[in-house]
Structures are given as C-alpha cells and as structure tokens.
Amino acid sequence: MLLLYCYTAESFATVDRTPVDTLITDTAFAPANLDLRPFLYVLTADEQHLTPEQAATMPFARQESIFHSNPQNNGRVNNCWLRLTVKNKSNKPLSYHLFSGWHDYMYWYAQSPGDKPRLLMQTGLMLDKGGVERWNHYAFAVQVPAGELRTFYLHIINKSYNEGALMPALFSTEAYGTFRDKQLDGFRKEAVVIQVLLGMLLVFFSISIINYIQLPDKSYIYFAAYILGLILFFALRLDDKPYQLSFFHRWPMLKYYWDIPGLLFCFYLMYLLFGNAFLNLTERYPFMERAFTWVAAIVGGLIILCLYFIRIGQYHMPTIIYSYVYFVTLVPLLAVFVALARRSRHHPLVRFFLYGSVCLYLACLGSFLMHVRPLGLLSALGELAAPTILLIGGVLLQAMFFLAGLSYRNKLVHLERTRTQELLIKQLNKNKELQRKLNEQLEELVKEQTTEILRKKQELEEQRKKQLETEYDKKLTEIELKAIRAQINPHFIFNCLNSIQLFVMQRDYEYAQKYLSDFSYLIRKTLDFSRRNFISLADEITYLNTYLGLEKMRFENRMEYEIVVDPVIATAELEIPAMLLQPYVENAVKHGMTNPKQPTGKLSIYFNQVASDMLECVIADNGIGIARSKSLRMLPKHHQSSGMEISQNRAELLNKMYNTEIHIEIIDRSSEDESDSGTIVKILIPQL
C-alpha cells in the first residue's frame, strides 16, 4: 500500500496541468480564423500609465461586454489589457497573427514563464508615424517555440469615445492573407471615391480662384475657403483607410484636429459667410443678415473651443459639441429654407443657394439615419462626421449649385456693366448734342445782341435825347455778353469733359454719370440766367453749389467748400443780380486751390442779413492771396481779372439804372496778417 501510494503521488505530480484559460495547440491545430474571445481575459485599467509588470500581477477576468463587431460609443475612454496564454504542445514552432481592429494606441507584449513582459510592437491611429502601408502594423505576431508556453498582453487605449470594432481573432498565414486582400479591396473602393471627390473639389477651387481674379468678390473667397476646408477634410479621411496612400501619414493627429472643427468650419462658418455675401443679405434681408453674422461668430468660437479640447486630450467633447450644433440647427435651417423659397421668385440667386443647401441638408440627415439603425442613436451621434456616399453626393451637389450660382452672378454683373456702359454712351451722345445746341444758341444770341447794338446805335443817331439811357443799355448789353463768355469758359468746359473721360476710362460710371448730370444742369442754368437781370437767392445758391461740386470732383476732393445762409433770410423771395457772384467764386477757386502751404483748399461763402433791406455776401478762401498771385504772374499792380472787372462794371450800371448802392470790397488777408493767406470779397446788395 505504501509503494502504491508513492507511485500514485509521483504520477499525479508529473501530470502537465495546463490552466483552463490557456489556448493549447498541437500538430492538429490549424485554424484559419479563430475567435479568441473564449481565451482572452480582460483587465480594465483606470490608470493609463499602468506598467506591464504591474498589469501582469493584477487579476484578469472574463468580460464579454468589452467586445463588439461594429463601431460604438463607449461614453468614456477605453483603457484595457487583453491577456492571451498559448501552450504549444507540438514539436514545431507556432506562428500566427492576432488582429483586433484599428484603435488609437496599441501595445503588444510577450512574457515567458518566470520573465517580465517585453514590448514587441506598438502602433495606433494616434501613434503610428511610419510608412503609408499600415496592414502589418495592426497584425500582431503570435510566436511560440515548440513545447513552450507564452503569455501575450495587448494594451488598447481608445481616447475617443467612438471606438472601432473590437473582435480579436487569430489567423494563420494563409487566412491572414485572404482576410487582408478582402479588406484591401473594400478600402480601395472607398479610397477611389474619395480621390475622385478630391479631384472634383480641386477643379471647383481652381474655378473659384480664377473667377475671383476676374471679378473680385467676397463670395468667391468664402467659396474657395469652403472648398479648401473640404479638400483637407476628405484628404485626411484617407488616413483612416488602412493600406492606402495617405497624404498626411507623418502627422496622424492632424485628422483629429480637422475632424469636427473641419465640419463646423465648412458646413456652418463658411456656409453662413458665403450665403451672407452671395445673397447680399445686408441690403435685401437685414434681419437674416444679422442672424447669419451672429451664428457665424458663435460657430467660430465653438471651433476654437473644439481645438482646445483636442489639445488637452478631451476628444469626445468636439463630437458632443457637433451633435448639439447639428440638432439645434435642424429646425432653424429648415425655417431659413422656407423663408428663402418664398423670395426665390424675386431673387434668382436664391434658387441656387437654396437647392445646394437642401441637397446637403437632406444628405446629412439621411447619412445620420443610415447610422442609427445598425449602430443605435448614441453610437450614430459619434458617426455624424463619417463621410458616407450619400454625404459625398450632397457635398458635390451643393458645391455644383453654389458654383453655378456664382457663374450666374457673374453673368448678371456683366449684363449690368454692359447696360450701364450703354447708358453712359447714350448720355455722352446727348451731352454732345446739348453742346451743339448750346453753340447754336450762343451764335444766335450773339447775332441777336449784335442786331440790338446796331438798332440802339441807329436810335442814338435818331434820338439825341435818349443818348444816356441808350448808352447804358449798350454798355449793359456788352457786359452781359462778356459775362456769358466769362461764365461759359471754354477752358472750364474742356476740364469738365476731361474729367468725364477720366471717369469713363476708370470705369467709375457712377461718378461720370453724376458729373454729366451736374455739368448739363450748369450749362442750362447759365443760359437761363444770362437772359435775366435778377434771380432768387435760392437759385443762385443752387447754381453755386453745382459749380463748386464740379470743381471739387475735378480737384479729386482736394477742395472743401461751404455755403452758410443766415436762417432769417427767405432765399426763395429775396432777389439778387444774376451772375454777379460767380466770377468772384471762380476767382477764389482758381487762386484758392493753388496754395502750396495748404494741402486742402477751403472756400467759404456766407449770406448775412445785415439790415432789413441789405444783404451781405462774403466769399473767403485760403489761397495765396492777391499780392502773391500778382507776383507769381508778374501782373501789373492794379490788374484785376476780366470776370471780376465785368461784375464791377455791371454793379456800377445797376447802381445807376436802379438807383441802388451795390458795394464790392476785396481784402487781402496777408496785408493784415503776414502769417495768414487768402482773399476775402465782401459784396453788399441792397433790396429794391
């Protein structure tokens, strides 16, 4: 009995008791695709910096809930350790491949009995900075020598709450190749679609830049920024497709920085800015323009906030922010579409914007609903940023409609420019016709005045008694003729036409049209006033305003003027001699704008009621003054301009004919104060 007991104890002592959680292999073990979940034990670690030695000493347990075959939202950072123990009972080395999906950080350790775990491989979507072919980087080698036991640890960290499929499987070399080729074909098809999309977006971007060069408009800049953001977003999508060429494989974190922020930038910020500029909401729909501006500012702040959260490692926060933005804006966007649809008849550009917006709106909504059914609502929220075929189609349609709208807007602008140019040409032709008629009227007027002079001369010969009155009429007629010639100065007309020609060459049609209108008005009023002895003060002020406005445009705003009227003056009722003030104003413009010490010429005209029957007109400028002007021109000491001399003579004749006391005083400021410059003309006009 003692010998039997000893033999039995020795037999049980030498029995190989393999743990029940060990994957035992022998010569008959040849799985093509083995589900490892029954052989994996899990350790969920809250501490991300747990060392392999510490993890190996901690208890692992079965946890089936951690595995899933589809992407899901965990609601937290997933930091777990998977332990696989393999016992090779065959007489050949074991070599297989373990694949568990694509995750943010993955570390593969191996441990021999009695040794510490050693790192064999590390990879991950946030870690890998190696080559562009990623297949072998995510398949971990399971190698066990003949007759030995090995324990393997796979440390997985997913900082994004949205986690990819986690279904560990063990592949043989042949099955692994078949699985890789099948996955490769699927990812290549998706990559081809993205590459075709990138090519089309590059074409759209080039067209928008070319159109902006031809017609500078903010709409093209916003559209180009929108397309550029989409190009970067979809180019980074290739980085999520294993086995494909990635443009940014050396910067794996870039796709996270431009994932949610890129969608907010393209589909909200640039969309709102583009719509604001494209539809010209400032003029047509002010309320909608304010709403677009405020929402764009809020989205810009959210983009900065998302970048901050990504910077500190809170990758789930941008997804939450985007989910809230998406659902909060669903109904307001629909209301905006309805409001724009009601106005599409009056504004054809609204149709292009509306059609493009609705296409993307429905594509995004359909893409979200497609994810809800297989993934559930919570996981589908995390997949809002995932580009599907439906979303890609919506993006393309929206870009096409927007680009077509920009082209149509170019056409409208071109037609408007052509119409404006035609109107300007017609206006120029009318002005030439007006100038021809004006010359004919002037010639006829000269003939009439000449005939009148001859008649007066004959009357003087026949009637000696009316010699003085006839002489006054004759002189007055001569002065009026000279005044007309002084008013319609050929040099002034030439300068005005040159200014009009310059505005047309610069395509400043608005200024050219205004200049033509004012110039035509001035010519008509000059002819009208030349036939009248007295006009109202209101007509005189309007005439001077028009004349000074033309001079200011000719001097390119290097001239400032003001006309100040005493409030007690009834300008419509008070009358003054026609064209009495214009020569002095013209003289002030001529000499007041040529002072090198003054960068801007200033001219002031004041009308004051100094007495119940006396009107005072003061014309002041900051020019070079009388003395300086005479010295520069080397004129005689008592020289006076012809226009001012005509006005002086005309005032004297009016004094004699109507028994008035029109008084004209010219003051040189430099004679009173050497530091001052300019001229002051005071004219006292009594009321009849």
363-392: per-residue pLDDT in tens?
A: 888 877 777 766 666 556 656 666 678 888
Q: How far apart are CA 599 and CA 583, in angstroms?
A: 24
> What is the pLDDT, as a whole number, of residue 110?
93
Q: Is the pLDDT of residue 360 over 70?
A: yes
Shared domain check, 394 and 254:
yes
Q: For residue 315, which amino acid is it? A: Y
Shared domain check, 201 and 166:
no
Give the residue with greater pLDDT, 413 vs 419. 419
Shared domain check, 550 and 524:
yes
Q: How far apart are CA 220 and CA 213, in angstroms?
A: 9
Shared domain check, 279 and 145:
no
Name the token pair of 247.
């443009």
- The b-or-e profile of 351-368 (16+ CB within 10 A means b, else e) is bbbbbbbbbbbebbeebb
Average the pLDDT over 612-621 and give the result: 90
Shared domain check, 356 and 215:
yes
Of 526, 564, 570, 576, which is closest to residue 546 (Cα–Cα)?
A: 526
> What is the pLDDT, as a whole number, of residue 675?
66
Shared domain check, 286 and 399:
yes
352: in domain: yes
CA 658 to the chain's CA centroid: 68
- The b-or-e profile of 565-588 (16+ CB within 10 A means b, else e) is eeeeeeeeebbbbbbbbbbbbbbb
The boundaries of the domain holding residue 558 are 488-632+640-686
Mean pLDDT of the chain: 80
From 410-424, 435-449, 630-644, the region with the lowest mean pLDDT: 630-644
What sections of 238-270 are H helices per DSSP? 254-257, 260-264
Q: CB of 280 within 8 A of CB of 286? A: no
Shared domain check, 250 and 127:
no
Q: How far apart are CA 614 and CA 606, in angstroms?
A: 14
141, 171, 201 - which closes a domain: 171
Q: CB of 18 within 8 A of CB of 87? A: yes
Average the pLDDT over 217-235 and give the result: 89
138, 171, 204 - which closes a domain: 171
* 3 CB burial (10 A radius; 0-12, 13-18, 19+): exposed
433: in domain: no
Q: Is the pLDDT of residue 544 over 80?
A: yes
Q: How far apart are CA 649 and CA 264, in angstroms?
A: 79
468: in domain: no
Strands in 139-144's sheet, in edge-to-edge order, are 33-35, 169-171, 94-99, 139-144
Neighbour tally for 207: CB within 10 Å: 17
Average the pLDDT over 292-305 and give the result: 92
Shared domain check, 502 and 612:
yes
Q: Is the pLDDT of residue 205 over 50?
A: yes
CATH code of 547's domain: 3.30.565.10
Shared domain check, 512 and 409:
no
Q: Is the pLDDT of residue 3 over 80?
A: no
Shared domain check, 394 and 307:
yes
Shared domain check, 204 and 163:
no
Shared domain check, 194 and 161:
no
Q: Is the pLDDT of residue 485 over 50?
A: no
448: in domain: no
From 150-154, 225-229, 616-620, 633-637, the region with the lowest mean pLDDT: 633-637
440: in domain: no
What sections of 329-388 are H helices per DSSP? 330-343, 348-375, 377-382
Q: CB of 575 within 8 A of CB of 537? A: yes
With a pLDDT cut of 90, the percent of the chain lying above it is 13
pTM above threshold 0.85 = no
Of 291, 286, 229, 214, which is closest to residue 260 (Cα–Cα)?
A: 229
> What is the pLDDT, as a whole number, of residue 1?
42
498: in domain: yes
From 205-219, 242-256, 302-316, the region with the lowest mean pLDDT: 242-256
Read off the pLDDT band of 9 (50, 70, 90): very low
> What is the pLDDT, as a whole number, of residue 635?
45
User: Count of domains in the chain?
Assistant: 3
622-669: per-residue pLDDT in tens?
A: 887 777 776 765 444 444 555 567 667 777 777 776 677 888 888 887
Name, in order, each residue with C-beta under 8 angstroms of 325's C-beta and a sequence gap of 6 or more.
Answer: 264, 268, 299, 302
182: in domain: no
